Amino acid sequence: MTQVAPASLQPELVIGLRGLRNQFGSHVVHDNLDLDVRRGEILGVVGGSGTGKSVLLRSIVGLQRPAAGTVTVLGTDVLSASEEERKALEARWGVMFQDGALFSSLTVRENVEVPLRAVPGLDPAVRVALADLKVAMAGLPPLAGDKYPSELSGGMRKRAGLARALALDPEIVFLDEPTAGLDPIGASAFDALILRLSRSMGLTVFLVTHDLDTLHAVCDRVAVLAEKKVLVTGTMREMLDVDHPWVREYFHGPRARAALGAAPIAQD
């Protein structure tokens, strides 16, 4: 008989998607999609081209309104939330888009200050100090705070984007292809940074990626998008037992075997 852990011992669900449908005109990207994300976990979201990984992320943070379904984050219904509820919720998550999505006319420090400026009564000197702290937490040298995005390498721009996502000490961080375009050394360093910040700050991380090394190095669970829904969720080890053509090819291919031999599994 299967034993169920008491409710008090079960991981808290911080993101819940039910019956989600996303479509653009007649093109349906997601249909009847369900997904749960637990507090404190790093969830990697993978799928083939066109499966809507980034669309799913944008649906959760309110940048893409689904045609149907519900999106609940930290106990709030995102789709029906009032403006006040929405602002309060946005202060509890941070988002890092591909390549950082920084404001080109602002320095790194000023970019990180943007969300901090919404905090009522925050002294400007404290705001600057907090921005510098987040820059350091993202692994950037102090001088990086005075530089503009155009003066940074691709890896440094990603770290600056992460610093901005961390500005308000969020409970959830959304990362869209954080290691895309990085060389193997830079990608490995970024993976280590994500894992360290997640564990030290108790962050829940929703991570869209195609990088097998990242999945092996940092993710507690993986959600596979296929056939317009979340086909399966589980640990990396559990993915090896899934009998589905795309999942089998992705997790049993040469690159998957190389990643499995090169990186530790975050959770068995």
pLDDT of residue 195: 96
pLDDT in tens, 143-184: 999 999 999 998 999 999 999 999 999 999 999 999 998 999
Residue ranges of the chain with pLDDT lower than 50?
Answer: 1-2, 265-268
- Pairing relation of β-strands 27-38 and 42-47? unpaired
pLDDT of residue 101: 80
Q: Concatenated DSSP letters for 80-102? A: T--HHHHHHHHTTEEEE-GGG--
41-66+82-262 under CATH 3.40.50.300, yes or no = yes
pLDDT of residue 247: 92
pLDDT of residue 187: 93
Q: Which residue type occupies 79?
A: L
pLDDT of residue 9: 59
Per the CB < 8 A criterion, the answer to whether 219 and 44 are in contact is yes
pLDDT of residue 233: 97
Q: How far is CA 17 from CA 22, 30, 39, 185, 199, in A?
A: 12, 12, 15, 35, 25
pLDDT in tens, 252-266: 876 665 555 555 544
- Pairing relation of β-strands 229-234 and 68-73? unpaired
Where are the chain's structural domains? 41-66+82-262
